[in-house]
Every structure is written in C-alpha cells, then in structure tokens.
Amino acid sequence: MRIPLVLLALGLASPAFGQIIPAPITPQDSGALVQQEITRQQLIQQQNQLMALEAQQRALKAQQAIEALKVNPRLPPPDVSSGRPPPQIDTSKLASIPDAALADSNQKVLDAANNRR
C-alpha cells in the first residue's frame, strides 16, 4: 500500500519539479543588471537619433527635389563669335490665333468676369 501512495505523491508533485527557482540576486548581479539596463537605454537612444537623422535626410532630399523642379533652365545665348549666323526659327509653323478670334475670346472673358450673380 505504501508503494502506490509514493507513486501517487510523485505523480502529483512532478509539475513542481519542472519549475525553475531563480537564484537570489547578489549585489554583483544587481550591478550587472543595472549596467545592462543602462546599455539598453543608450542603444534605444542611439537608434532614435539614427531614425531622426534618416528622417531629416529624406526631408532634405525631398525639399531639394522640389526646389529642382522650380528652377527653369536657361538656354545659353547663341554663339555668334564663331562667325556662323544665328539659328533661324520658321514662325509659319508656330501656332497662331487670328486677332479677331483673340479679341472675341477676350471680350467673352471680360463679360463673364463682370457678370456676378
């Protein structure tokens, strides 16, 4: 009868054997834990600084891209010192609006601007 009771006691106590009991913290361990926490905080601070610098870099590049779009490139003047004649532009191939059509369009715009309801 004793053997089944011992086996029953061991069977019920087996989960307790699986638990890990932490060792008591010594002053040396607490100093190491504090140092580890300080190192972790410094790492987090460095990562935050890197992320902020990367964000500033991206913003600066975006701003430079916008500024580059605003600049209208100037064409250099034709080189007349070489003795060649300047290039000629055939204006007959450019779009043109007859004066009467332009005046009519202008009058319609003025009438629409003055017609405030």
Q: Answer whether residue 93 is part of any domain.
A: no
* pLDDT of the residue at 75: 79
Q: Answer whether residue 96 is part of any domain.
A: no
Please give the chain's pLDDT, 117 residues, in tens: 566 666 656 666 556 566 777 777 777 778 888 899 999 999 999 999 999 999 999 999 999 999 888 877 787 877 777 777 777 888 888 888 899 999 999 999 999 998 776
The two three-digit tokens of residue 24, written as one number? 């008591």
Q: What are the angstrom distances between the C-alpha of 103 and each of 108, 109, 112, 116? A: 9, 10, 14, 21
* pLDDT of the residue at 72: 78
Q: Answer whether residue 106 is part of any domain.
A: no
Q: What is the per-residue burial (b if ≥16 Cβ within 10 Å, else e) of 71-86?
A: eeeeeeeeeeeeeeee
- Specify whether the CB–CB gap between 102 and 93 falls below 8 A: no
Q: Answer whether residue 55 is part of any domain.
A: yes
Domain extent, residue 44, equals 30-72
Q: Answer whether residue 110 is part of any domain.
A: no
Q: Answer whether residue 16 is part of any domain.
A: no
How many angstroms separate the CA atoms of 117 and 112, rounded?
Answer: 10
Q: Answer whether residue 50 is part of any domain.
A: yes
Number of separate domains in the chain:
1
Q: Answer whether residue 2 is part of any domain.
A: no
Report if pTM > 0.85: no
3-state class (DSSP) for residue 93: helix
